[in-house]
Amino acid sequence: MEYRNLGASGLRVPVLSFGAGTFGGSGPLFSHWGTTDVEEARRLVDICLEAGVNLFDTADVYSAGASEEVLGEAIKGRRNEVLISTKASLPVGDGPADWGSSRSRLIASVEASLKRLGTDHIDIFQLHAFDASTPVEEVVSTLDRLVQDGKLRYIGVSNFAGWQIMKSLAAAEKHGQTRYVANQVYYSLVGRDYEWDLMPLGADQGLGALVWSPLGWGRLTGKISRSKPIPAGSRLHETADFGPPVDDELLYKVVDALEEVAAETGKTVPQVAINWLVGRPTVSSVIIGARNEEQLRQNLGAVGWSLTKEQVEKLDAASAVTAPYPYFPYRRQEGFARLNPPIAG
């Protein structure tokens, strides 16, 4: 397993990490992701650790905290072997203190997560969404205090716009407080919006990407193509509206290219899709999910080999879309391109 620094930090993370959203699944979304119990979770953790995957990602909102509880039980007795990443800010109830990133909410959320996880610290803590109702100075100062208290080791964000990240980083810089080093983002061959703004920001400001849904919300599994509609048992029938939208023609173009590369490499479609992400600029770790041992072992096979330059170019071309304004001039007009050359990689 390859390890990389998380952004501009000294924390080394595996290029593949495990998403525990399938643990303890309940509710209209998470029950379709998976319903892994503690015994099954221990087995999946065993397999991950054997492969060198020691970073496990969860959130307080996943199955109303059950994901954190199951993960905590699954790693019991081996806390020093693993890194835990969790998130807070999204609503976990209907009360006024059940959502957001206020000082009281963050302190309570961290304490609750620590209890559910059965640990005294969280290695990577991320805000799950931007809270426009709380001043960024209050947010970053609270996170800084939690870091100073030893309850959080590193901090980051997820699902933030570029200006929201920069405003937060500026506040932390001004007051000499802990800066974000992680940005948990949606990024896939059928969803490359991360590249327009957030990738250059990450490269400039030292934020490592932790990629969620690398298979395009379950669309790049190899089970869907021009000739194969969504299978009857696919979770997409129930969960598609919860995730990022994907144009059908783009999906089919990408899958066509993935199938060609998979045939050339002897790998599976999802393995190729994940391997492409591992090679992208600013990516520190790609979060893989699995409902069972077979899926996990297949996803682990996405690393340990490399795509050729020609194969990467084929996937790049198939997944390319026109950038939105103001980004498209920098890609299509020579004068603009000279001012902002693309990130290497």
Give the integer Cα–Cα distance in Å for 294 and 55.
19
Give the integer Cα–Cα distance in Å for 79 and 72.
9
Within 8 A by CB and 6+ apart from 320, the residues are 192
Between the CA of residue 322 and those of 27, 47, 115, 192, 299, what are the distances in Å? 37, 40, 46, 11, 30
- Strands (E) located in the chain: 3-5, 12-14, 16-19, 55-57, 83-88, 122-127, 152-158, 182-186, 208-212, 283-288
Indicate the SS3 state at residue 232.
Answer: coil
């029938």: which residue's tokens? 237
Give the integer Cα–Cα distance in Å for 19 and 5.
19
62 is catalytic: yes
CB environment 173-209: b (16+ within 10 A), e (fewer): eeeebbbbbbbbbbbbbbbbbbbbbbbbbbbebbbbb
Give the integer Cα–Cα distance in Å for 311 and 276.
9
Catalytic residue among 3, 62, 327, 330: 62
Active site residues: 62
